[in-house]
Every structure is written in C-alpha cells, then in structure tokens.
Amino acid sequence: MKEIVTVRFLGQCLPRNPRGIACYAYIIRNKEGHLLDESCGLAAEPNSPSSTNSVATYTALIRALEWLIKNRYRNDIIKVYGNSKLVISQINDGETVISKNNKNNISKSTLSLYTKVMKMKAKFYYISFELNNDSNNRHIDDKEIEELSLLAYIEAKTKILEQSRSGLNNSIDRNRQELKKKLFPTAAELMMAAAK
C-alpha cells in the first residue's frame, strides 16, 4: 500500500537578496503527521552572487527529495508544498521554462538546480508541487520551517562573526609581534649602549 508523504520546504536569503546568507529548511511527515525528517542549512557561500532566494529554495527542495529517494519513498504519493510561486511554477511548467520569452525563465545560477529537481522528479511514482500561499490557513509546519531557516541563518552569521573576530585577533597578534621585533633590537642596542 502506498503511503502519503508531505514535504514542506522554504528557502530564503537573509538579510538581503541577493548576496545575503541563503538558507534552506524542509520538514517531511507521513500521513499520520509523524515527523520523518527535518533539516536546515546553507544553500550557497554567504554574501556571494549565488546566494539568492531561488538558490536557497531549490536547495531546500533538492535536499528533501534526496532524503526521500535515499529512504525509499519513491513509490509513495508525495505532496510537496513551497511558498515560492516562481519555483513551483518553473517545476510545474517543465520544459517551457527554458524559453526566453517565458516570464518564469530560469536564471543561470539556478538552471543546474532546476535540472537536478526535474531529473529527481521523474524518479517518483507520484509527486505534486503546490504553492502554499494561503496566509489565513497556514500549516503548523510553516512556522517551524521559518524557524529552521532562521536557525541556519543565525548559525551561519555566528560562524562568520567568529571568523572575522579570529581574523582580527590574528591581525592584532601579528601587529604585536612586529612591534616586539622592532622594539627588541632597539632595547638591545640601548642596553649595549648603556653598558659602555
């Protein structure tokens, strides 16, 4: 008997799009609502040109689909919900998206991610992609997904700050060592001069 599995995913680039910190999150539940998996993380190098909402959204979807394939849910009924109208439209429109006149045209930074999703999509018995845009009837997992994505952002931001502090400390240490090198010969010369 086929199981119904629900995937909710979110990608966002904070605090700005593009060139912010692209974070992803997803939650996968079975028909009874039991949590099968949840995950969050970075979708691209922070503050880079590839750090965008679309890259984060596609990455969230890819990570969720990879988990489903790895854990043998390919023959079940998969219902996927996302809040990106652009990404959901691109996936549902399929090959028409690549034409230049289409409003859903895929950017160069997301084309490989889109292609990967389309290849993965073909591996499932049944999979649907729906826009989750009704703010009055938000699913309970939507808040959790936002929190997971924010957690990924906070962890990345903390790591960046620690690295910059570490770099600053290394710079200060180097400056102190250079100052000591300059002072030591001067002090030695002073002592030798005083001894004469």
55-100 pLDDT, tens digit per residue, is 999 999 999 999 999 999 999 999 999 999 999 999 998 755 554 5
Q: What is the pLDDT of residues 161-171, one digit of tens each?
A: 888 877 656 65
Measured CA to CA, the distance from residue 25 to residue 10 in angstroms comes to: 5
Domains, the chain, ordered by start: 4-162 (3.30.420.10)
* Prediction pTM value: 0.78
Q: Is the pLDDT of residue 186 over 60?
A: no
Contact status, residue 110 vs residue 55, Cβ threshold 8 Å:
yes
| Residue 30, H or E segment | strand 21-30
Please give the average per-residue pLDDT across 25-39, as a whole number. 95
Please give the pLDDT value at position 36: 97
Please give the pLDDT value at position 167: 65
* Cβ partners under 8 Å of residue 161, min gap 6: none
Contact status, residue 78 vs residue 128, Cβ threshold 8 Å:
yes
Q: Hey, what are 26's tokens?
A: 């997803």
First to last CA, the chain: 99
Please give the pLDDT value at position 7: 97
Please give the pLDDT value at position 130: 94
| Residue 103, H or E segment | none
